Each structure stands twice: as C-alpha cells, then as structure tokens.
Amino acid sequence: MSNIAIALVTTGLLGLISALSPTRQICNIPDHQHNGWVLLLTMIFMFIIGYLGYIWMLIDRDIGSLELIVATIFCGGGAFVFVISRMSKETIFKLQQTVHEKHYQAHHDPLTNLANRHQFYDELDKLIDDEHHIFSCLMMDLNDFKMVNDTLGHAEGDHVLQVVAERIRRSLPKGGIAARLGGDEFTVVLPDTKIAEAVEVAKIIQQALSEDIQCENHALVVGISVGIAEYPKHGPDKKSIMKHADVAMYKAKATDRGYRVYSRDID
C-alpha cells in the first residue's frame, strides 16, 4: 500500500514539474493576464513542496485507505494542472499566431508581400509625427504594364509584379519601406534621406529592373517611372508629399526620363 501511495503522489508530482515549463512560457507573453499566470506558477511551486512533504510522510508509515485516497487525489491534481497548462499554452500560442497572421494580412499586399496602402500611410504618419524627421518619398509606376496583361494574361502579369516587387525590395537601403498601392503602382519611403540619396536609390531600382524577367517563353524588360519628393521641403503633410511625388512621376513618364524630382515649375 505504501509503495502504491508513493507512486501515485510521485506521478502527480511529475505532472506538476512538467507544468512548470508551459506555465513559464505563458508568463513570458507580454500583456496576457500576466499576474494571474505568475500566481499560478507560484502556486505550482508551493504544490511541489507539499507533494514532496507528503511523500516524505508516507515513507516508513502504515498506509490506510484515507492516505491512499489522498494520494490518488494528489495524482489527479498534478495530472490536471499539467493538462490544463499544456492546453492553455497551445491555445494561447495559436491565438497569437492567428492574430499575427490577421495583422500581417491587413497590412501587406497579398500578391507581392510588400506593405499595402494602409501600412504605407501609417509609416508616413509616424515619420511626420517626428518634427525633426526628414524623408524622401518615391512614387513609381510601371511603363506599358497593361500591354503585359493584354498580351500574356493576368497570371503572367501577376508574376511580373512579384518579380518587380522583390527587386525593389532588394534595392532599398536599410530602413527603406516599399509598398504596393494597387495595380502596377509602387511607392517607397526612405527615412533620413534627402533628394540626392533618393535619386541614387531610384537609379538602383531602375538598374535592377533593366534585367530580363522570364515570362512563358518570353524575356521581358519592364521600365519604371519614378517621381521623388522630399519632406518637408516639398510639402508639410502626407497628402502633399505623395501628390508632389506623383506629379514628378507622371512628368518622368511623359518625358521618358526614368525619374524626376518634384519642383514647382512642373506642377
């Protein structure tokens, strides 16, 4: 009887010890009922001490039905805490992953995985909220992209957009943020970057897009027109900066110059 009781309590003790790891992982999740889970972790440590004390009490002692019943309860309690802690950890982590995926989907373009329009606006707002911040905004539009869709189909057009997005992403300096606003329109924001540096980035992007893109049995070269505006030099807010970069882009497209910096005389 004594060995059976000790085995039951030991099983429960192992359950408590196994519950420590998942409970500690939950405690490390920021802002997730932190105090409650820390309290539970503390209680598990206290239970472990109690279980050890009960095992010590059972050694070299005549065991009756009452001690055996208590040992069974201890076994079930330890197993219960283990199961609850494991299930809670799995549920919480899955919920966090779902929330992260939903957040990512809400802020990124599903085709290119670049930031979407809403995320780009948020990034501009953050930069503008910093009164001492300067940045450059590049508005970009592919040249004759409609011809790609009409000739090769939308599936190949999507492939071209994905390749273009990846080349733009690779061309950016550290801290640069690329976004797809829709269709074949892309934009880039370059924090702490003035016009001269932004022009160099525009040239790098155009050089990257001068390489062939393989579509079906064709090798395409997709041109891009870039308009550049600097904050706060070319506008005091998000709307004016994007508008002026857009004006410069259309001027670059109309003159086949590849890129154009905004100035009052082209507006």
Q: Whose CA is closest to 143, among 209, 211, 241, 228?
A: 209
Count CB-CB contacts under 10 A for residue 188.
28
- Count of residues making up the chain: 267
Based on the residue annotation, tell me whether 130 is a catalytic residue of this protein.
Answer: no
Q: Which residues have a Cβ under 8 Å from the Cβ of 142 and sit 6 or more positions away? A: 160, 164, 184, 222, 223, 224
Using an 8 Å Cβ cutoff, are 81 and 89 in contact? no
Tokens of 184: 């074949």
Q: Whose CA is closest to 33, among 88, 101, 80?
A: 88
**Backbone angles phi and psi of 215, in degrees to 5:** -135, 120
Using an 8 Å Cβ cutoff, are 180 and 240 in contact? no
The residue from 125, 184, 256, 265 that is catalytic is 184
Long-range contact pairs involving 232-236 (C-beta distance under 8 Å, separation at least 24): 232/134, 233/134, 233/195, 234/262
Tokens of 212: 């062939």
Is the dihedral angle over the CA atoms 51, 54, 56, 60 positive or is it negative? negative
Q: Helix/strand/coil (H, E, C) string of 205-245?
A: HHHHHCCCEEECCEEECCCEEEEEEEECCCCCCHHHHHHHH
Catalytic machinery residues: 184
